[in-house]
Amino acid sequence: MRAVLRGRLGLFVVVLVGVVGASAVASASVSSSVNKTIAEFSTPVTWSGPNTAVKPPKGKSVTIIICGSQGITCVRVGNGAKAAAKALGYRATVVNGESEPTVWNQAIENAVAAKTSAIVLAGVPPALVSGALADAKSHHVVVAAVLSVLGPAVNVRVSYDRKKVAQANSAFIAKNSGGKANVLVAEDESEFPETTPTETGYTKDLPSDCTGCKVVTTVKFTLALASQNMPSAIASALRSNPSVNYVTVPFDAVVPFVEEGISQAGMTGKVKIVGVGADPPSVSALKSGGETESLGTPAEWMGWDAIDGIVRVFDHKALPKLQANLPGGASNYVVPERLITKKNLPGAAGWQGSYDYKAKFLSLWGK
């Protein structure tokens, strides 16, 4: 009897040691830096500038060209810029760029012909409108580029740190997956080259954050055709790579199309989406469970940044120092980025930055 008990006790100890060992291996597979990164992108937002007052001149007009109505982040930037211009008493006109470079160029030319005082490009890549920008410059029209800042020099540049997107989202995936993530990276094909540092960053950051995390495959898309082509492309990639349990997207405008692709592949509930922007489509997906996290980038705030920069050019005041080391393009203004999940879900309008930036700008403008 004692021999049997000793045998059973020995077996119990072996099993217990095995379980503890397995747990230790699992926890060791996630880098010790992951919690630090998550904490960095979860802290309360503070004001990072500018801090010097400026006197906005009166009687100005601003033309705001958004990349297209499909790009919800562009639309939000446009809304922010319009609200800021209106707060200054400026005439503000918003033009839908229809996700077409020819429309973008024509919109700039039309604005110059209409003698607009300034132009805000919301997600319109300067590299694709260089000729029209040269015309604007020759007519002394002040130009601010937001989101897309690569290409010919403009007066004001507003963006966010694209490298940090991959760092923050990779850390989240590592922890959320328990160190076991097979990732499909959805990549913008050519429209928005500033997203490349984020997309390529996952290949480096994921294995660094957890030994069981890797990029398995990629799917390329264009925003203009995402609604037609992206669901089937995602579904096909998932069927070919059934181990995938996370999909990353470069901006939240395409989240509904990724959800549709996951559904077509019969993998709803098995594959989690990780996004960028915490835009309205993301808020809906986070609420339903289709998306598990989005790195918030307050788009309306970026629109106010653009108007502040334009005002400083009007008033011959110095802009915030250009941050030239950003991988997605140098920027005068860099908005905060924070991890948004179901636990800190923003309102239906998307994440606004968790800071009263409007009051701060109005104070700087003497309003």
DSSP string covering 84-125, please? HHHHTT-EEEEEE-TT-HHHHHHHHHHHHHTT-SEEEEES--
Range list of H helices, 213-326:
226-240, 255-264, 280-288, 299-314
Average pLDDT over residues 38-44: 97
Residue 108 has pLDDT above 70, yes or no: yes
pLDDT tens digits, 252-277 = 999 999 999 999 999 999 999 999 99
pLDDT the model gives residue 168: 98
Q: Taking a C-beta distance cutoff of 8 angstroms, is the pair 65, 120 a contact?
A: yes
Residue 357, H or E segment = helix 357-364
Q: Taking a C-beta distance cutoff of 8 angstroms, is the pair 74, 66 a contact?
A: yes
pLDDT tens digits, 321-339 = 999 888 888 899 999 999 9
pLDDT tens digits, 128-153 = 999 999 999 999 999 999 999 999 99
Tell me which amino acid residue 308 is. D
- DSSP structural state of residue 331: B
Q: Taking a C-beta distance cutoff of 8 angstroms, is the pair 95, 301 a contact?
A: no
If DSSP codes are grouped into helix, strand and coil, which group holds residue 348? coil
Same fold, 61-160+298-335 and 162-296: yes
Q: Which residues of 314-353 are buried (b: 16+ CB within 10 A; e: fewer)?
A: beeeebbeeeeebebbebbbbbbbbbbeeeeebeeebbbb
pLDDT the model gives residue 355: 97
Residue 345 has pLDDT above 70, yes or no: yes
Q: Taking a C-beta distance cutoff of 8 angstroms, is the pair 44, 354 a contact?
A: yes
The fold of 162-296 is Rossmann fold (3.40.50)
Beta carbons within 8 Å of 228's beta carbon, 6+ residues apart: none
Average pLDDT over residues 149-164: 94
Q: What is the dihedral of CA 268, 272, 276, 279, to 10 degrees?
A: 40
Instruction: Say if pTM beats, i.e. exceeds, 0.85.
Output: yes
Q: Which of 204, 81, 51, 86 shows the shortest CA–CA distance to 142?
A: 81
Q: Which CATH architecture has domain 61-160+298-335?
A: 3-Layer(aba) Sandwich (3.40)
Q: What is the Cα–Cα distance from 257 to 262, expressed in whole angstroms?
A: 9
Strand 338-340, strand 91-96: pairing: unpaired
Q: What is the Cα–Cα distance from 74 to 79, expressed in whole angstroms?
A: 9
Mean pLDDT of the chain: 91
Q: Which of 319, 348, 344 shows the shortest CA–CA distance to 334?
A: 319
Judging by beta carbons within 10 Å of its beta carbon (0-12, 13-18, 19+), is residue 274 exposed, middle or buried?
A: buried
What residues does each domain of the chain span? 61-160+298-335, 162-296
Lowest-pLDDT range of 15-24, 78-87, 265-274:
15-24
Residue 33 has pLDDT above 60, yes or no: yes
Cis-peptide into 50, omega within 30 deg: yes
